[in-house]
Structure 1
Amino acid sequence: MPPIVHCVRHAQGVHNLCTANHVIHDPLLTDLGNEQCRTLRDSFARHEHIDLITASPLRRTIYTALQSFEPVFQARPNLKVIALPDTQETSDVACDTGSEPDALRKEMEGKPVDLSWVYEGWNVKSGRFAPTNKAIKDRARAARRWLKGRPEKEIVLVTHGGFLHYFTEDWEDSSQFQGTGWTNTEYRTYVFSEEEDRDDLEGYALDGDNATLVETLESRQRRGKSGPMPSREQQKTLYKIGTQGWDDQGLQLSTAEREAAKVPEGQEIEGVRA
């Protein structure tokens, strides 16, 4: 039986304080962020059931995992946070770009963090990690498939507010906050669908199982929602609305697109925003 997945957005980072801080490379948590981790640690009721913890390799997600799930590491001394490059944040701005592998290994030395999946180039925002909808959808699906195939029964993934919409494919309220519908350290619980979807939210055919996630009713009720999450057909519409909503917020995926969008009245020169 595929595992249960608890998805968590990282605690408040320095970049969350203001847009100007988005130029900070791979920022750390704020004091409030550390407090949010302690609150999640004390309120999360499933520590004893968790047998795998994964996280984006950015520092704010790793530290959120280490602090929020401290009881799991205490109970399981050999357990480590597995850092998964496919779950990094979506854009190519500095705050969403990870550290060099050697620097990350030096910083995490002595901590229960497994960086074996973090390789040279994981923090270069091109190819697999390009700030495009297709690339992000592809790596989100790869992460879902990897987790679905794991032998563990209950898994935690600590990642980012924007990426979580691609990973869960739940676009409801995706523009409620800046670039996300998730609050810092919010967690939601998912199971894998019994159906094998063979297309993505844009209708493109896939080379295999989409590994679709479904939020549990208990999880939705925990955050004030009634009834099941929107259907896959409804999500296809919400996806279009959500990505357009981010554009309207000035949160295009690439730095170049964000700069182009600042042009008064959207002036274009020979088809290119100048």
Structure 2
Amino acid sequence: MAPHSRIILVRHAQAEHNVTFDWSIPDAPLTPLGKTQATALAPLIPHLQREVDLIATSPLTRTVQTTLRAFAPAINRLGGPSKIFLVPEAQEVNAVPCDTGRSRSQLQHDPDFAGLDLEPLTEGWNSKSGFWAPDEGVVAERAAWVRRWLRGRKEGTIVLVAHGDILRRIVAGPAGVSGGPGWKNAEVRVYRFDPGYVEGEECFLDEKGVVAAAGGWDVTSTEAEVLASEGKL
């Protein structure tokens, strides 16, 4: 266990559903601007490219595309795409097509996933049922699982690329999910484990600051629903 690890959390760059608000886009990929944002992020974080020991990502297309571009120097240094960890527990929350990943058999033929180890994608990982359901209590447990997984790694500096809604749960504290500002696209934040909770099941994180952001305030599917209900969208 490495309770003193530095945890680098990153939201993916702009994806198609962020622009169109079309949640029916299957496993929404990055837009051309999103690809530019992800590529532009790489030189903004040169110290992380040198220092990161482990790179992990949600297995959705937009997070994998972001990871491959934003952390290309670090990926090359660490041995290539096969060294990237796919963490299905870090997939986005909602049971809509844009937030639902594809099966291993589909991803095996996708050039963006070439060279990646797909073994973590077990049967049902993209079912949005059971452990993968969008129910708030289940999502909170999945977020806690991610924190425990990070705590269990031996590496000193760990990157995890994920999504706005699940990131809110991963960084939630004892008081629950923060009502503060969301994450920009291609935003990088640094965390450490809260020493008061690091040995427990929740092992909450303590934010140390925002390092960089290459994108803007494109909302998640959950944030869009809230804005629509308030007549702001």
Q: Structure 1 length normalisation: TM-score?
A: 0.72
1:54 equivalenced with 2:56 (yes/no): yes
Equivalence map 1:17-28=2 (5 Å): 17-19=19-21, 21-28=22-29
CA distance in 1 between counterparts of 2:75 and 2:187 reads: 20
Equivalents in 2 of 1:40, 1:107: separation in Å?
A: 24
SS of 2:109's equivalent in the other structure is: helix
Give the alignment of 1:257-272 within 5 angstroms.
Answer: none
Higher relative contact order (Cα pairs below 8 Å, separated by 6+ residues) = 2
| Conserved 8 A contact 2:64-2:112 | no
- CA deviation after TM superposition for structure 1 residue 136, in Å: 0.4
Q: Which has the larger radius of gyration?
A: 1
CA positional deviation for 1:74 = 1.7
1:158/1:222 Cα in 2 relative to 1: closer, same or farther (>3 Å)?
Answer: closer
Change (3 A) 1:84 1:103: same
Partner AA of 1:28 in structure 2:
P
Deviation at 1:249, TM superposition (A): 2.8
Work out the number of aligned pairs and report it.
215
Q: Could you tell me whether the CA contact under 8 Å between 1:55 and 1:82 is conserved in 2?
A: yes
Query: Which structure 1 residue ranges, 5 or more long, are not aligned?
Result: 199-207, 224-243, 252-274
2:92 equivalent in structure 1: 89
User: In structure 2, what is the equivalent of residue 209 of structure 1?
Assistant: 201
State the percentage of identical aligned residues.
Answer: 35
Encode CA deviations 1:4-23: one digit per residue, 9 max, x unaligned.
1110000111111122x211
- What secondary structure does 1:17 align onto? helix
Measured in 1, the distance between the counterparts of 2:202 and 2:63 equals: 25
> Which whole-Å CA distance do the structure 1 matches of 2:225 and 2:76 have between them?
43
| Residue 227 (structure 2) aligned to one of 234, 249, 258 | 249
Give the aligned residue type for 2:68. Answer: L
Residue 16 of structure 1 is matched in structure 2 by 18
In the alignment, the residues of structure 2 paired with residue 52 and residue 221 of structure 1 have an alpha-carbon distance, to the nearest angstrom, of 18
Q: Taking structure 2 as the reference length, what is the TM-score of the superposition?
A: 0.84
Cα 1:250–1:114 change in 2 (3 A) is farther
1:172-215 CA distance string (max 9 Å, x none): 454x4xxxx001000100001111279xxxxxxxxx52111001
1:7 maps to what in 2?
9
> Distance between the aligned counterparts of 1:135 and 1:50, measured in 2?
30
For 2:226 and 2:109, the matched residues in 1 are separated by 39
Does the aligned pair in 2 maintain the 1:193–1:212 contact within 8 Å? yes
User: In the alignment, which residue of structure 1 is the partner of 2:119?
Assistant: 116
